[in-house]
Structure 1
Amino acid sequence: MQIASVDLGSMAINVELPDPDTTVMDNVRWGEVYAFPTPAYWAYQVIARRLVSSPVRYRLGASLREEFGACVLGGHGIPASVGLAAFEHLRSSGAFATTSPSEETLLRLLSEPLKVGERYVRYRFARQKASYLAKGLARLEGEDAPLSSGRVLRDWLLESPGVGYKTASWIARNWLDADDVAILDIHILRAGVLAGFFGSKMTVERDYIAMEQLFLMFSRGLGVRPSELDAVMWYDMMSAPRAVQDIVDRLPAEFRSAKFMPSRTRANKRRADTAQLSLIG
């Protein structure tokens, strides 16, 4: 047994975790609780956040149509602040009302400058995202989305143009607070490889379903909710590119592909914030 303490100011709570050599799942040891990024470290981080902060509110929209829009507008290549600004701009323009706007209307709205903080920016991929949104919103207007589980909703969303596993899982997790899907990206891939539950040859593009099953098994082994775990992993891995880089530098050559390693050129520029934590995906 190993014990870690969570400081709550006026009091401290001890968290008991298995011995470092105990296995979480096949060939995956718990490891030392204070050794980033071991399984024990991740279990402690999830539990500590439960105790010291409010639970993450995953939903970004007030309806499934809004949630679809927020997640499609965010994600890869779009800074969280820009994705949220685009979402709010479209929402305030009535784009997520019951009558779906045309692709031309969405393109016009996404082509308008967005105020982010004290500056105005342009939304990238406006034409592409306008097309995806128009088709997806029309489908949500004409069909009843299945809401019996996160996976059922995720699989239904995959039939929408431009919606892949990660975005579909993100929408389903947010809207249903689902724990039967996982939002997997490069940050979760790195965390899983370093913790030992993903193979070094796996990619989210090729192996999403197999990786999702391993992630869910790992979460069960730790005794934490997958939705909490992927949020904590994503935030910590994104916030510590130098620490991740140092660990990867000491790994065998098979781990040191350009895709797996954090970018040195961006390490000083990337800072996680509350907007990023909301826009996981």
Structure 2
Amino acid sequence: MQAVWAGHGETARLIAMPDGAEEVVRGVPWGSPDFAGTPAYWVVRCQWGQDDVPSFACGASTLTEEIGFCLLGGYSVTFEANMAAFTWLRQNDVFELEAKIDADDIVKLLSMPLLVDGRLRRYRFPNQRAMRISAMRRRMIAAPPDPSSAQILRNDLMSFEGIGPKTASWIVRNHLGSDEVAIIDVHVLRACRRMGLFPEAISLPRDYESLEEAFLNFARAINVRSSLLDAVMWTETRATPL
């Protein structure tokens, strides 16, 4: 066995884990909590890092808003720019389905400079994301997805324009607070490859389900909520790439 203190002062707790050579799941040893990127490290990091990771949600209550928020994020869009663009569109009633707003209106809004981290910046994909959000609005009016379960909602969302398994999982996780899905993005991929949990050669979205299954099994094996684990991995690898 190995043990390490996590936290500070009165909130600190002693975490016991199996020996570093023992496998968490097949082919992935626990390793030492003193070395970044090992399973033991992630267990400790999730214990003392729960309060300093973003939720990756828009903080709004409607499914339309959550879908819009996630459509604005993703590849080459920082979380800060994502939130700024979403806030601007929400202020202009883009996510109110009763509002008379078309794709051109959304393009104009996303083409305006946005305040991101105290500086005015341009959103990177105004035309593409405006088309997707406009299509989402039409779909939400004509045939909204079924939120009765994580898997049903994700399957429905993947029929929306511009939504693949990662974005669909992101929406489901945010809207339902579900740990039945996982957000496998570039940061989680990097962390899991380093542990040996994911193979080096993969093809997305083809391999998404198998990677997600491996990630969820790993999270259960170390007794950490998958939603917390992927958020911590994202935060850690974004700040200091492994």
TM-score, with length taken from structure 1: 0.80
Amino acid at match of 2:76: G
1:22 shift after superposition? 1.8
| 1:34 alignment counterpart | 34
**Tell me, what secondary structure is at the counterpart of 1:42?**
helix
How far does residue 54 in structure 1 lie from its aligned partner after superposition? 7.1
Which residue does 1:114 correspond to in 2?
114
Distance change (3 Å), C-alpha of 1:203 and 1:39: farther
SS at match of 1:180: coil
Whether the 8 Å contact between 2:53 and 2:235 is mirrored in structure 1 is no
Equivalence for 2:15 = 15
CA offsets 1:119-150 (integer angstroms, 9 cap, x no match): 32221111111110011121112223211222
Gaps of 5+ in 1: 245-281
- 2:44 is aligned to 44
**Cα distance 1:34–1:171, how it changes in 2: closer, same or farther (>3 A)?**
same
Question: How far did residue 216 of structure 1 move?
Answer: 0.7
* Deviation larger for 30-39 or 141-150: 141-150
Measure, in 2, the Cα distance between the counterparts of 1:8 and 1:111: 45
Which whole-Å CA distance do the structure 1 matches of 2:36 and 2:52 have between them? 23
Post-superposition CA distance 1:168-220 (Å, at most 9, x none): 11111111111111111121111111111111112434311111111111111
What is the identity, as a one-letter code, of the residue corresponding to 2:174? N
Separation (CA, whole Å) in 2 of partners of 1:154 and 1:112: 32
2:188 and 2:230 in contact (8 A); partners too: yes
- Aligned-pair RMSD on alpha carbons? 1.8
Give 1:59's aligned amino acid. A
What is the CA–CA distance in structure 2 between the aligned matches of 1:10 and 1:42, rounded to whole Å? 22
- Counterpart of 1:80 in structure 2 is 79
1:60-96 Cα shifts (integer Å, max 9, x gaps) = 1221111111111111111222221111111000111
Per-residue Cα deviation, 1:211-262 (whole angstroms, up to 9, x for no partner): 1111111111111111011001111111112xx2xxxxxxxxxxxxxxxxxx
- Relative to structure 1, the CA distance from residue 120 to residue 54 in structure 2 (aligned partners, 3 Å threshold; closer, same or farther) is closer
Secondary structure of the residue aligned to 1:4 is strand
In the alignment, is residue 227 of structure 1 matched against residue 235 of structure 2?
A: no
Q: 2:119 and 2:196 mapped to 1: Cα distance? A: 43
Cα pair 1:113 1:123 within 8 Å, conserved: yes
The equivalent of 1:94 in structure 2 is: 93
1:151 is displaced (CA, Å) by 2.4
- 1:59 match: 57
Q: Give the drift of 1:115.
A: 2.2
**How has the CA–CA distance of structure 1 residues 79 and 7 changed in structure 2, closer, same or farther, with 3 Å as cutoff?**
closer
The aligned residue for residue 134 of structure 1 is 134
Give the residue type in structure 1 aligned to 2:37: P
